[in-house]
């Protein structure tokens, strides 16, 4: 019997929390409707995925590798990004660039395993060539298979 009363009280408590949020939100929306500016705004439900929230300019989204004019990645395989990465999810293999005197190396393999990435942005900060950015504004990168989250040169330079 005591358990039943406890459960009932929990239901009442839950209903009160929901009602409080509803009334507070409604209050802010009403103030907004009458043009009264408040520090806090009423919560708005976004009908995702039909409706999408605009991301902040500096939001760290899916990585991309920038290219030089000759189409090769801007990366000079210094490995700084891989060293800075706390998740150890960047793997790069260098190759000798036969056409370019200035940049003697280019990445023959450049892999980011996004299943391990924590989107900290350290790799972007570490890059001295501004070759790696996280400004694609793509955040919908979920896959059914972990292997599909391994991004190679082709996917990173798209
Ligand atoms: S964002 Fe962070 S975790 Fe992801 S690849 Fe870059 S350094 Fe590694
Ligand atoms: S830090 Fe930049 S230049 Fe160096 S390996 Fe990474 S992407 Fe390439």
Distance 82 CA to ligand 1 centre (A): 8
Domains in the chain, ordered, with CATH?
1-44 (no CATH), 64-156 (3.30.70.3270)
80 phi and psi, to 5 degrees? Answer: -65, -40
pLDDT at 69: 86
Instruction: Answer for the pair 158, 110: CB distance below 8 angstroms, yes or no.
Output: no
* Ligand found nearest the CA of 94: 2
C-alpha 152 – ligand 2 centre gap (Å): 14
103-109: which pairs have CB atoms within 8 A and are 24 or more residues apart? 103/68, 103/72, 103/76, 105/76, 105/77, 106/72, 106/73, 106/75, 106/76, 106/77, 107/73, 107/75, 107/77, 107/153, 109/152, 109/153
Task: State the closest ligand 2 atom to the C-alpha of 90, by its place in the atom list counted from 1.
Answer: 6
> Ligand 1 within 6 A of 122 CB?
yes
Full-model pTM: 0.77
Report pLDDT digits (tens) over 118-143: 999 999 999 999 999 999 999 999 99
Q: Give the residue, by CA position, lying nearest to ligand 2 atom 8.
A: 75
Report whether residue 94 contacts ligand 2, using a CB cutoff of 6 Å: no
Residue 85 has a pLDDT of 98
When pLDDT is averaged across residues 110-114 and rounded to a whole number, the result is 97
């Amino acid at each position: 019997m005591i358990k039943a009363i406890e459960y009932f009280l929990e239901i009442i408590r839950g209903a009160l929390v929901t009602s409080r949020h509803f009334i507070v939100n409604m209050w802010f929306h009403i103030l907004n409707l009458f043009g009264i500016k408040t520090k806090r705004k009423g919560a708005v439900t976004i009908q995702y995925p039909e409706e999408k929230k605009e991301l902040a300019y500096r939001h760290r989204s899916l990585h991309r590798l920038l290219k030089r004019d000759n189409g090769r990645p801007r990366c000079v395989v210094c490995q700084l990004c891989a060293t800075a990465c706390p998740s150890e999810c960047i793997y790069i293999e260098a190759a000798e660039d036969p056409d370019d005197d200035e940049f003697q190396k280019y990445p023959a393999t450049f892999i980011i395993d996004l299943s391990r990435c924590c989107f900290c942005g350290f790799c972007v900060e570490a890059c001295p060539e501004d070759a790696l950015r996280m400004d694609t504004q793509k955040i919908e990168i979920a896959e059914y298979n972990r292997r599909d989250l391994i991004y190679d040169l082709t996917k990173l330079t798209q």
